[in-house]
């Protein structure tokens, strides 16, 4: 749940930094990849919530609730692995593109102030 708050905060921080550096293709790629993280994190949170609910329902000791078929557990496990791996892969891609932008020659240079030379 915390990630649903932290991802937008990190994005805002990145947008503020983006305004201070020279706009390059690497910086643009990093920004575009960052746009795709929140939906993946949201999917991961939804799957985790469903797993928590399902586990509570199955193990909670309620005998009046009918047991769900075994395939439901398999589907939930596959969904959890898919959501987790998608989130991890996207985070690694974002980090790599950010590192590439910073370590490139032009990516780490501050943007010119006001767009004019200060002679």
The answer, yes or no, to whether residue 67 has pLDDT greater than 80, is: no
Concatenated DSSP letters for the chain? -HHHHHHHHHHHHHHHHHTTB---HHHHHHHHHHHTHHHHHHHHHHHHHHHHHHHHHHHS--SSSPPPPHHHHHHHHHHHHHHHHHHHHHHHHHHHHHHHHHHSTTTTSBPPGGGS---
| Mean pLDDT lowest among 22-31, 44-53, 62-71 | 62-71
Mean pLDDT, the chain, as a whole number? 82
* Cβ neighbours of residue 98 closer than 8 Å, sequence gap 6 or more: 30
pLDDT tens per residue across span 28-52:
888 889 989 999 999 999 999 998 8
Q: Is the pTM of this model over 0.85?
A: no
């Amino acid at each position: 749940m915390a990630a649903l708050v932290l991802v937008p905060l990190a994005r805002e921080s990145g947008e503020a930094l983006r305004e201070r550096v020279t706009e390059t293709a690497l910086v643009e790629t990093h920004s575009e990849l960052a746009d795709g993280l929140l939906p993946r994190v949201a999917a991961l949170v939804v799957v985790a919530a469903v797993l928590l609910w399902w586990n509570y329902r199955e193990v909670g000791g309620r005998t009046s609730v009918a047991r769900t078929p075994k395939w439901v557990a398999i589907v939930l496990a596959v969904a959890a692995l898919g959501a987790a791996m998608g989130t991890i892969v996207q985070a690694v891609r974002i980090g790599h593109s950010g590192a590439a932008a910073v370590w490139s020659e032009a990516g780490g240079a501050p943007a010119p102030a006001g767009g004019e030379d200060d002679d």
